[in-house]
Every structure is written in structure tokens, then in C-alpha cells.
Amino acid sequence: MHFPILGHRASLGLKARPSDHEIQNSLTDSKYSTSGRYGLKNLDSATGASEEAPESPGNTDLLRDTDSQKAPMCCRFDTTQFLIKRYRRSQTTVYRMGVLDMRSVFLGVAAIVLGIVTPTVAADMTPAPVVEDLVAAPAAQWSGFYVGAHAGYGWGNRNGCGDIGISLLNFNLIPVFPIESCDAAPDEFTYDYDQAGGLVGFQAGYNWMATETFLVGAEFSASIANITGELDGLFGGVGTWDGLATATAKAGFTFDSILVYGEAGLGFAGSSFEGDLGCNFEMNHVGPLAGAGVSVKVTDSMSLDLKYQHIWLGADQAQCNSTATAIDPAFLAIPTELRTEGSLDVVKLGLNFQLGNP
């Protein structure tokens, strides 16, 4: 495909512009010659006969070219020059139209290329985002199993009532019976005293993040305790809380490396008693527990845990034989029935190690 006016005319398949002489020769050989009225006469190519071109309207007397009369010089009509100029104007029009068409094509192609290239270049010039700005620091991870150890301090209370009887030669002269309640017991047969002391133990549990900040979990702990107190009176002696175990469920909220929670469950406590008159016994108590705590991440897998627990320990009963005199207990003994309940308050500081995430 050749486009006009793009580089040299010959290279685009366009003929070179003819000279005036060539135009005049071509007009001489054409249908109309330069003689006759108006300088135009139709030549019949087959017969060689001439036919005058149609007469133009208007006054043509001054333009007639006859053998006997010539038009004045000022009014002569140079047909050859007229046709040459007309031919040139037509070629110029074609030339300009070609230039305009080519410019339109060039502009269209340039617009398409710019439309494709510009977004690509703009994208290449856009600076890549800094990874550090897009990646947030990971939140502390609390989910998973953990184990740990703790130490703490507890203070408690033991209260209850007792009943005594008389046994002679292992025969109960005055028998004793299980005590249903201490509400109606005489004051001299009741007791109430406090205990305090330390404990150490271990714990194991599991935490699960229900949402991004809400945590639920469960924990079991066991402690060796020496929470002790002394009792005076008829049932005098020393009572000790010597073992404690808890099973709790907890729920709380995390604030990145801090966990604040509440817990509830059951507490199990073992107690022992050494009476002044030889009445020694052991009891086991169980009851509801409530507490609260806060944990702080020390590292990704280690955390400190501080908690407080209150345990309502239910009643238990035990029997023992007291010796009121130096008489052989096999001959004379004082059987004793005791009913005891209590409570414990415990503060624990623990160190937990997280074993992994689910």
C-alpha cells in the first residue's frame, strides 16, 4: 500500500509532477484543441473532423478567434495557461488531501501506542511498597497446651462441732452418732479457728482463642500445702490443710502480651488433725471455686501468671478416740465424732511454658 506525500513521491508510487511543456503537449493531443471559439475545439479522433465546443453563455464577441478578426491583447484568453493552472490546482488539492490523510493515520496510531505504553510506564515508575510497612507485628499467641509450676500462699478457716461418748472395755456406754448439722450444737461442742501457710505445685492447661481477643481455656493444678492453725478447747489440737487440687474453666481477654481472665471450677482439699488428747484424723473436702488472674508473656513460649482463688470447702466427718485420763484406752475411752467444713483463699504465682499451637 502506498501513501502519497511520504518521503520522495516516486518511492510512494506517485508520478512526478509534469512540467508545463508536458501539460501543454497532453492538452494538444486531447479531445479539445486550443483553436476555435474560446480556444477550445472538439477533435473527433476517428474522423479528424473538428467540432466546436459549446458556446459559453454571455457576451462572447470579444473572445472570438477568427481568420479575419483577433481579439484585443488585453482580452485574449490563453487556454493553455488556463488549463495548466487548473491542472496544477487539482494536483495540489490531491497532494494536500494525501498529507491530511497521512497525518490522521499517524495521529491515530500515535494515540493508540501512547494509550498502551503510558500505563505500563507509569506502573513501572510507581515505587514498590515497603514490605515492613505492610506487615504488622504478629500478635502474641496464647492458644495451645501449656505446663508450669507455681508457688503461693494460702489462708483458711476450719469450723465445726463434735460429740463425745463413753466406751468401757470397748463397749459404748454412751454411743456417738454422725452429726447432720452443727446448727443446734452447744457452744462448748463447737470450734472455729484459722490457718495460714504456703504451698507449691504444678499446673497444666489448654487455651483457645475464640476470637482475636477473647480466650477460653481449662486448667488443672495440684499443690502440696502447709496451711496450718492451732485449735484450743475441748477438741484442741493442730489442724492443717496439707493438699490442694483445682480444676477450673476460664475465660478472658487478651491485650497482645497480656491476658486478663476469670475462672470457676472445683477445689479439692485434704486436711489432717492431731488432737491434744490423741484424737487424730484426716478429712477430704470439696467445693466450688472462683478466681481471677492475669498472665504476661515473657517470651513467645513463656508467661508469668498471677491469680487469686477462693474455695468453699464442704463438710466432712471423722471419728477418733480421745483419752481423758491415764487409764488404758482399751479399758476406758472417749469416742469422738467430728464434723468439719472450711474455706481457703489462695494466691499463686506461676510460670507457664507453652507447648505449641493447635
Question: What pLDDT does residue 335 have?
Answer: 86
Give the model confidence (pLDDT) of 205-223 as tens digits. Answer: 999 999 999 999 999 999 9
**pLDDT at residue number 165:** 85
How far does the chain reach from its first CA to its final CA, in angstroms? Answer: 73
Buried b (16+ CB within 10 A) or exposed e, 168-191: eeeeeeeebeebeebeebeeebbb
Q: For 295-323, what is the mean pLDDT?
A: 94
Per the prediction, the chain carries an average pLDDT of 76
Comparing 78-92, 190-204, 250-264, 265-279, the range with the smallest average pLDDT is 78-92
182: Cα separation from own chain's centroid: 60
Instruction: Dump pLDDT digits (tens) for 143-173.
Output: 999 999 999 999 999 999 999 888 888 788 8
Domain 144-356 has CATH 2.40.160.20: yes
Answer whether residue 270 shows pLDDT above 80: yes
**What is the reported pLDDT for 55?**
45
Which whole number is the average pLDDT over 49-73? 45
Across the range 226-236, mean pLDDT stands at: 92
Question: 1 versus 140: which is more confidently predicted?
Answer: 140
Residue with more model confidence, 106 or 324: 324
Quick check: 215 and 207 in contact, CB under 8 A?
Answer: yes
Q: Give the pLDDT band (50/70/90) at residue 237.
A: very high
Is it the case that residue 102 has pLDDT exceeding 70? no
How far apart are the C-alpha atoms of 237 and 320, rounded to whole Å?
Answer: 13
Contact residues for 64 (Cβ-Cβ < 8 A; gap 6+)? 37, 71
Q: How many CB atoms lie within 10 A of CB 234?
A: 16
Please check whether residue 245 is in contact with residue 279, taking contact to mean a CB–CB distance below 8 angstroms: no
Q: Rounded distance, CA 323 to CA 339, Å? A: 19
Q: pLDDT > 90: what percent of the chain? A: 45
Q: Where are the domains of the chain?
A: 10-125, 144-356
Distance (Å, rounded) from C-alpha 284 to C-alpha 282?
Answer: 7
Cell numbers representing residue 79 in the block: 487556454
How confident is the model over 92-96, as a mean pLDDT?
51
For residue 164, the model assigns a pLDDT of 87
Q: How confident is the model over 181-206, as pLDDT tens digits?
A: 999 889 989 999 999 999 999 999 99
Question: What pLDDT sits at residue 33?
Answer: 44
Bigger pLDDT: 58 vs 305:
305
Model pLDDT, residue 325: 61
At residue 175 the predicted structure's pLDDT band, cuts being 50, 70 and 90, is: confident
Q: Is the pLDDT of residue 244 over 80?
A: yes
Residue 169 C-alpha cell reads as 472395755
d(CA 257, CA 300): 9
**pLDDT on residue 326:** 61
* Separation of alpha carbons 50 and 66, rounded Å: 15
